[in-house]
Structure 1
């Protein structure tokens, strides 16, 4: 998978982008397992992408649900057994 960031919010530590092979939009944020830092990617549709790009409050609501692992069904890459926690 090749993830290309389109929008980065450094203050809230998340990004929006598109996976180039599939054209799937995503939201991502950094995660740390204590051994390695990585990003988790959650699939979103084009409407969500546009809304999140222009509405920070809406984006943060979704990102925080993902950070609490409430949206795991949207994970684009399933984590291993030593899953990290959102940074």
Structure 2
């Protein structure tokens, strides 16, 4: 069993992403292209969706991100001018 991992990630800020995990079997047979559709499987885990962010330069973006983040309850109770 030989496993090889290749990971490339390029993200754009404020874009939503859904990671996918692709498993590809490298078929050693000479006619492997006939079986190409059988030699891979893609897995998607819905709980891994995310929005890429950078440091916020605009307080409106900060407010938007906090408003849409279910884990940012503590920030919602304070005055936006404090950010």
Say whether the fold is shared (TM-score over 0.5): no
Bigger Rg, structure 1 or 2? 2
Q: Which has the higher strand share?
A: 1
Greater relative contact order (CA < 8 Å, ≥ 6 in sequence): 2
TM range (shorter): under 0.3
